[in-house]
Amino acid sequence: MQLIRIAGLFSLVALAAGQDTSLRAVTAAFSAANISASLGITFNPKALLEVSFPQAHGKPVTLHAGIHLPINATAGPPSFEIRGAVGRGPFVVAMVDPDAPTPEDPSLAQVRHFLAGDFHLRGDCLFNTTAAVSDFIQPAPPAGSSAHRYVLLLYKQSPAFAHQQLVNASTSVLGFNISQFASAVGLGEPVAGTFMLVAPDSS
């Protein structure tokens, strides 16, 4: 009982602990979670991507790299801010799950949870001016799986992105490959990113 209370307290602290504050810490967290290898990206961020999920009650939760969130805190859609200088945009934001259906057997990965362009900075906030290529899908790690990594990446938008025909609203979200897509569309490597860990609800 005591332990459960303490664990509960820690998760509250983690929820309240807030956003990424250092590029070094984000880079270290990506490295510890093996994200660059899993996604085939080079992660050398120039700025911090601040991702916030609205909550049914209370303030939004802002991610820091590697935060554990319960599924019901991730209904979204998330909002985005940038800390640091990476130009005014336009930007592309992507969110992918390299751990589907499970981290041990990622045979359906990557799952594309969000892909959208035409994000522009207004102050520190990112606003889109066109609809998403792939609308936000809430994390849904299957029962029995360990936590999945949900990785959010910011790219500088290329001219080719607006005309890309690789992905649209009816393209399967399974079997996506963000590095292959970025390369095909000329996005280069991500300029910012963060990630969260979401496990299935224990019953």
Q: Does 4 bind ligand NAG (CB under 6 A)?
A: no
CA 105 → CA 29, 100, 143, 196, 198, distances in Å? 22, 7, 14, 19, 17
Q: From the CB of 176, what's the least distance to ligand NAG, in Å?
A: 9
Cβ atoms 177, 110 nearer than 8 A = yes
Q: From the CB of 34, what's the least distance to ligand NAG, in Å?
A: 4
Amino acid at 71: I
Amino acid at 187: L
Among 52, 102, 128, 138, binds ligand NAG (CB under 6 A): 128
Q: Torsions phi, psi of 64, nearest 5?
A: -120, 155
Q: Does 55 bind ligand NAG (CB under 6 A)?
A: yes
Q: From the CB of 169, what's the least distance to ligand NAG, in Å?
A: 8
Among 87, 129, 142, 160, binds ligand NAG (CB under 6 A): 129
The residues pairing with 48 across neighbouring beta strands, listed in sequence order, are 83
Residues 169 and 171: their CA atoms lie apart, in Å, by 6
Place of tokens 């979401």: 198
Among 12, 17, 28, 37, binds ligand NAG (CB under 6 A): 37
Nearer to ligand NAG, 25 or 174 (CB): 174
Nearer to ligand NAG, 1 or 56 (CB): 56
Q: Does 179 bind ligand NAG (CB under 6 A)?
A: yes
